[in-house]
Structure 1
């Protein structure tokens, strides 16, 4: 996947160098917004960039819990919103990242790290769930948006 991304970068470098800074800024902003939408749709579908499903949550002992128990709630519902998934775009770079306390949660799931589920709990090895990543469709989207912008 990184080879295809590097090939796209090499191909587009000469074309992007000829654009004016304002046009490059506008292009990077529109590409960033399209990529963020693509990432959000993939998170809604609960899929890794390779197309595999996220590892399911571990079952918890909820016998002591009173009241209604929500089941089958999708993971990362709030994490995928634009208020947590921030876009930074300028003429030279595009980045999509998480901010605040959710950045740590996203990092633990992205790389499958060890963390505590709640304060005072023991450490847990989390399954790897790639929240952010490029798919083949994302690379095609990047190329198409670039060609569309250059055709204008």
Structure 2
């Protein structure tokens, strides 16, 4: 996948280099906002970038409290603009989780071990890729850059 991103970067870099700094910032902001919107839709659909569904939650034990958290979709609040940020730094578009929630999302992104609560047991979480590029994302980025270049 990183080869595809590198190929897209190699293809777009000469085109973007011809823009002035203000136009590059505007383009980066638009690409970041569009990418954030697409990531949000994919997270709400509970799918990984390759199209497979997220690994389901573990089945609660019979002694576990029956509650609404098990019935709701995972990461519903994380897909909001409060947590999933789209920013641009200079002429670079950045989409990701920042702050305290970044540790939680990193645990799920890579399937790491973490504590359920402060003094709770360590649990290995299933890998659920919250952020990533799909083929449609790469095509959409290329299309939006070409559209932007066409209007300039």
Give the aligned partner of residue 4 of structure 1: 4
Give the aligned partner of residue 13 of structure 2: 13
How many residue pairs end up in the alignment?
A: 150
Q: 1:55-113, CA deviations, whole angstroms, 9 ceiling, x for partnerless residues?
A: 00012236463xx7214210001111111111221343111121222111101000100
Give the aligned partner of residue 131 of structure 2: 132
Moved more, 18-27 or 95-104: 95-104
The answer to whether residue 15 in structure 2 is matched with residue 24 in structure 1 is: no
CA distance in 2, matches of 1:93, 1:99: 16
Q: 1:8-38, CA deviations, whole angstroms, 9 ceiling, x for partnerless residues?
A: 1111111111101111100000000000000
State the TM-score, normalized to the length of structure 2.
0.92
Conserved in 1, the CA contact under 8 Å of 2:25 and 2:92?
no
CA distance in 2, matches of 1:96, 1:144: 18
Moved more, 118-127 or 132-141: 118-127
- 1:81-92 matches, cutoff 5 A: 81-92=80-91
Give the aligned partner of residue 36 of structure 2: 36
Moved more, 13-22 or 115-124: 115-124
Aligned CA distance change for structure 1 residues 64 and 131 (closer, same or farther; 3 Å) = closer
CA RMSD of aligned residues (A): 1.4
Give the gaps of 5 or more residues in structure 2: none
Moved more, 40-49 or 98-107: 98-107
The answer to whether residue 46 in structure 2 is matched with residue 46 in structure 1 is: yes
4+ residue runs over 4 A deviation: none
State the TM-score, normalized to the length of structure 1.
0.92
CA distance in 2, matches of 1:40, 1:9: 23
